[in-house]
Structure 1
């Protein structure tokens, strides 16, 4: 027994189908995937394509305020005018930046030389015949400070001027500078955040130099170390203490400075004499000794900038009277002047037969 299977005919192919019953086509909805934007590289964001560069060059003469194009159009063919004006503009920007940088550098050099010359402080001018050494030290100090600040100012001026000129030239090439500036800004913030200690040292060093807080040859107390300044940079200060040890101190860590070498120094000598000594006699004796040292022309190594003063009785006890002698000297010579005063006072008291009293 055989079973025959035949395909069922489609409704529209059936001869008995009703022609009035026409199937309604189902609308087909096509889903088009939205393209995912691909990240653009910095080169694609900044560097222009040839078409953009060509349009930028051709648009050079499109502005109404352009000055170069009318001059070029009268000399060159019309098709060459935009390119020539574009090239001349770039050359003028570069030359203008170079000229401006040279002028600023010369102005900074002139200000630096004037700041390096300086004059003696008013208090020291009265003894100018003995001030060769002090004048040399002050001049060297001013020169180093002025040269350091001049180099910093020249470097900053060159970066600002040439950097601005470079951005103007890149804009003439049709480059999109917004991504570049954004990247540089982010990089600057990152570097500044990571190197904030270094930036703090540099800023502190600049203010230290501008305010002349201390210089080479000064004896200073930074809290961390005390000694003579051997070198000063924008980042560190190098000290050598009295034991010969060298200290390197970051400028950003210096919160206070005691300078023993600015303006003038004071030599101080206390003279204890017996309680029953004649006050007027001792005072006149000490005054003659101090005045003799002040007026002595052969004391070239000991520069006293003001007449010494003798105080009658600084302290008193049951066994001694203490007189005080002070003398203002150039910075750094207070110890030598004090030693010379002690020697002369000792000799004068021995000649008078007056012994030193024991201090409590």
Structure 2
């Protein structure tokens, strides 16, 4: 009766410790997030982009939430392990002496079977501590691209543009491309026909982009004034000019779509028709290899087997012991075409072999 009561007490204490630890972590995270919002004078995390210096504020919120998620998982795992050891020790008082064997087994398991789990945990901790990604970031992890919804102790959850939720093991993440850190850049290449006044068209396009940047709706999304980088390339069809704009992270696509629409309207007003550029379409395996995400398997060529050469059949003369060069008599002969009246000739009889001379004894 004493042992079940002790086990029950251990389980209850472990559950209470987890609840208290989770509450403390969440409270600290909420205080940091609310402090950032109060400092920026906003009430919503999404509204931090309107503030004067949103980059540091948004990164602080995202990183705090990611660290809070990881710490919650670590505390839960630690409490479960300690509670399990105490329960085993309570049920069997001699279990402490056998912990050396358990430790050896755990070491062997970590060395062979659980090394991937350890790799996932360590990689996840370093990614969060080094601020490589956070909850809400738009990232490219290689296996998946999308918005980070959760950073766990072993798995990171990514929601792609189609709504699919990807569970990526932290140990499988070899590179992290984060679009939500720092700034983004919109790059638009526009084709202008040869007969158009290129400097005049460039000036009109840049003026359109600057007027969009000065509007209150779009001003908060631009970090700098748009720039015209000039002629990017000259082909046989047109002159390609490049227009760029530096935007806040996460706003690149919205700015690019609106800017394309306005630039198209400007070109129509100037009666500048964008020429149709020819493109090279790859087909077959070459085209499949050029598509992102399509990795055709590389297989070794099949081994070629030598075709067995059929052995020549033995002729009847060889079976009778005749020499190979001896000509066989014709069994039948057809009449020659030049002499229609010729009759088939009978095969000549075979000459008998001359008897061999007996050997003389010395």
Could you say which TM-score interval applies, normalised by the shorter chain? 0.5 to 0.7
TM-superposed deviation, 1:303: 0.4
The question of whether the paired residues in 2 share the 8 Å contact of 1:117 and 1:139 is answered with: no
The question of whether the paired residues in 2 share the 8 Å contact of 1:220 and 1:226 is answered with: yes
SS in 2 for 1:298: helix
Structure 1 range deviating more: 140-149 or 231-240: 140-149
Kindly report structure 1 stretches of 4+ aligned residues shifted beyond 4 Å.
109-120, 127-137, 149-159, 178-181
Unaligned runs of 5+ in 1: 1-101, 121-126, 167-174
Matched, 1:278 2:210: no
Change (3 A) 1:273 1:336: same
Number of residue pairs matched by the alignment: 240
Output the aligned Cα RMSD.
4.1
Matched, 1:145 2:63: no
The question of whether the paired residues in 2 share the 8 Å contact of 1:116 and 1:139 is answered with: no
Matches within 5 A, 1:1-360: 129=50, 137-151=58-72, 182-183=100-101, 185-193=103-111, 194-299=113-218, 303-360=221-278
TM-superposed deviation, 1:182: 3.9
Unaligned runs of 5+ in 2: 1-19, 40-47, 87-92, 279-362
Q: Distance in 1 between matches of 2:103 and 2:153?
A: 24
The question of whether the paired residues in 1 share the 8 Å contact of 2:228 and 2:244 is answered with: yes
Which whole-Å deviations, capped at 9, do the CAs of 1:284-335 have from their partners, x for residues lacking one? Answer: 11221121122222326x6011221111111112331111111111122111
> Match of 2:332?
none
TM-superposed deviation, 1:113: 6.4
Q: Distance in 1 between matches of 2:154 and 2:99?
A: 28
Q: Distance in 2 between matches of 1:198 and 1:287?
A: 53
> Match of 1:30?
none
Q: Distance in 2 between matches of 1:338 and 1:131?
A: 22
TM-superposed deviation, 1:151: 4.2
The question of whether the paired residues in 2 share the 8 Å contact of 1:216 and 1:230 is answered with: yes
Q: Distance in 2 between matches of 1:284 and 1:149?
A: 51
Q: Distance in 2 between matches of 1:332 and 1:275?
A: 36
Higher relative contact order (CA 8 A, sep 6+): 1
TM-superposed deviation, 1:181: 6.9
Q: Distance in 2 between matches of 1:276 and 1:233?
A: 58
Q: Which has the higher helix share?
A: 1
SS in 2 for 1:299: helix
The question of whether the paired residues in 1 share the 8 Å contact of 2:191 and 2:274 is answered with: yes
